[in-house]
Amino acid sequence: MPDGTESSLTETREGRSDIVSWIKLGLRRILPQVVAIGVAFVVGAVVLLVTGYSPIEVYSAMLGGAFGDLFGIGQTFTQATPIIFTALAFLFAFKGGLFNIGAEGQLIIGGFTAALVGISFDGLPAPIHLPLALAAGALGGAFWAFVPAVLKAKLGAHEVITTMMLSYVATYITSYMVNYPFKAPGWVAQTVPIETSAQLPRVLPPTQLSAAIFLAIILVGLTHYALERTRIGYEIRATGMNPTAAENGGIDVKREMILALVVSGALAGLGGAGEVLGVHRRFIDGFSPGYGWDGLAVALVGGLHPVGALLAAILFGALRSGGMTMTRITGVPLDIVIILQALVIFFVAAPMLIKRVLKGGWFKV
């Protein structure tokens, strides 16, 4: 009996030790980002003082607009939702050693393909129509990433160039489509409304927050699990860390590159589908104010970790939604939000860049 008690106490101590170690590891991961964000807001306060505004008044208005009531919270998460998708898209490709700069285009294509399914199939039951439209969005984004993935794996074409250029192609193709063949009656370049059966439900009326936020949060967990707990995730990470060693270890490096970029595109495409099916409920030309580019920044601010990306996306969503209230109350130009975002990115990225330069790893993946 004493032996059993002693064994139980030992296991309890070990369990507590594991929890403490996990907490310490988590703090070590997030502390640099938290400090960088704090420094960014301090520098932002200096900028406000120099330009004649009160930092306390401005930040209070911004915080109140983002989290002061249910409407503000809803709008914050509405703005954060597509950024979560594109941040996951960037970090998934990054884990495979690839820079997917084209999440913006993949998001737009995903939104358009979801809209095509959403305005079609009149009378289709919602349990079939909505998943079909979401799947179309994911497939659209995946296809838009598949082309640069194959070019990278087979021809060595740099994915930064190909994904970025295809983003512009996506913008102009979809713009043509909603200005001509799929244009709804009226002056606005947009499609007809999505069928009710394909619309994502709103979860916090009268805000535009849709059920896409739940899908985004689920994908945060699934992305972490897939990358850290599965064989495919291990092979993708091994490819990203050292392609030569991975290939020597029997991993098909080209296959993993293609897979990483295609999954990345699918995640971005789902973000576009969520916007079209849940927020706008039609495809509108220029519906994205740059969610793909914000996703890249958010992934970096979040330490290239899915949970960190989720938290950073909420921060950027708060800056967007709170910034509108800030402008209305204080008269400060909305450009201050862009300055704050840039400062956050700068102070988070600066230590990484310095380390790369000191190690002689400039421009290396």
**Does residue 48 fall inside a structural domain?**
no
Torsion sign (Cα): 336, 111, 201, 195: positive
**Does residue 5 fall inside a structural domain?**
no
Omega within 30 of 0 (cis) for the link into 131: no
**What pLDDT shows up at residue 90?**
98
**What pLDDT shows up at residue 365?**
43
Count of the separate structural domains present in the chain: 1
**What pLDDT shows up at residue 362?**
46
Going by C-beta distance under 8 Å and a sequence separation of 6 or more, which residues neighbour residue 66? 72, 73, 75, 76, 317, 318, 319, 321, 322, 325
What is the pTM for the complete model shown? 0.90
**Does residue 64 fall inside a structural domain?**
no
**What pLDDT shows up at residue 142?**
99
User: How does DSSP classify residue 184?
Assistant: P
**Does residue 6 fall inside a structural domain?**
no
**What pLDDT shows up at residue 1?**
47
User: First-to-last CA distance in the chain?
Assistant: 57
pLDDT along the chain (365 residues), means of 10: 55 59 67 87 95 94 95 97 98 97 98 98 95 99 98 95 97 98 96 98 96 98 97 97 95 97 99 98 97 94 93 95 92 90 86 60 47
**Does residue 126 fall inside a structural domain?**
yes
pLDDT tens-digit readout, 194-243: 999 999 999 999 999 999 999 999 999 999 999 999 999 999 999 999 99
**What pLDDT shows up at residue 15?**
53
pLDDT tens-digit readout, 64-83: 999 999 999 999 999 999 99
**What pLDDT shows up at residue 334?**
87
Going by C-beta distance under 8 Å and a sequence separation of 6 or more, which residues neighbour residue 48? 54, 55, 58, 332, 336
**Does residue 38 fall inside a structural domain?**
no
**What pLDDT shows up at residue 3?**
56
Instruction: State which residues form the domain around 183.
Output: 85-315
**Does residue 16 fall inside a structural domain?**
no
Tally the C-alpha atoms within 13 A of residue 72's C-alpha that lie toward its C-beta.
Answer: 16
Residue 241 carries which side chain, given as an amino acid letter?
M
Going by C-beta distance under 8 Å and a sequence separation of 6 or more, which residues neighbour residue 357? none
**Does residue 136 fall inside a structural domain?**
yes
The three-class DSSP label of residue 21 is helix
Query: CA-CA distance, 300 to 363, in Å (whole number)?
Result: 16
Q: At which residue do the structure tokens 């296991």 appear?
A: 11
